[in-house]
Amino acid sequence: MGAMYPWEPNSRKQGGYLHHITKLEGPLNTLHIDHLDKGTVFAAQEFKTFCEEQAIEHVTITKGVPRGNAQFESIYRRVVPALAKLSLESSGNWYKFVGSSLKNFEFYVSTKCRQHSIRSSFRVKMRNKEDLRVKEIIDAKVTKQFQLQREGLRETLIEATRGKSQN
């Protein structure tokens, strides 16, 4: 792993992933968010007590293994702009909105299967305390992306019909 990570993933004899991690080792004592594999190490009681001791909020966002970069990009395209808009007043507190943004993103109805992603995956309804500000921002972003995609398709169709009429 080298100097990039302050811990060795194979050092399970000395406590595994939690052995060398302390909150003070992060740059400028900022909140550090990692994209982690949702394995047994991160569901263990030791990890939960570690997060409580270090005052770290552990938010799990995966419901399966992403099939490719497109799934990550669809999350980032919607959640990152929402976080930017929500933290305009205090840009240092953007991390406080991560949990509610991701919950609202998961609650959003998928255009492919016409259901909430939680409902289509697990066949259960998600109980969600509505945060209207987050929902409005995500809805606006999704609508804007849909309009841009629609305009791109129209332009492609117009160019294709022009090409056929010229031939």
109-125 pLDDT, tens digit per residue, is 555 555 555 555 555 55
- pLDDT score recorded for residue 30: 45
Read off the pLDDT of residues 28-83 as tens digits, 9 standing for 90 and up.
444 444 444 455 555 667 777 877 887 777 666 555 445 555 556 666 677 777 77
Residue 17 gets which letter from DSSP? G
Confidence at 86, pLDDT banded by 50, 70, 90: confident
pLDDT of residue 164: 79
Please give the pLDDT value at position 151: 92
The tokens for 85 are: 């808009």
C-alpha angle 16-22-26 in degrees, rounded to nearest 5: 120
Spatial separation of the C-alpha atoms in residues 67 and 85, rounded to whole Å: 29
- pTM, entire model: 0.33
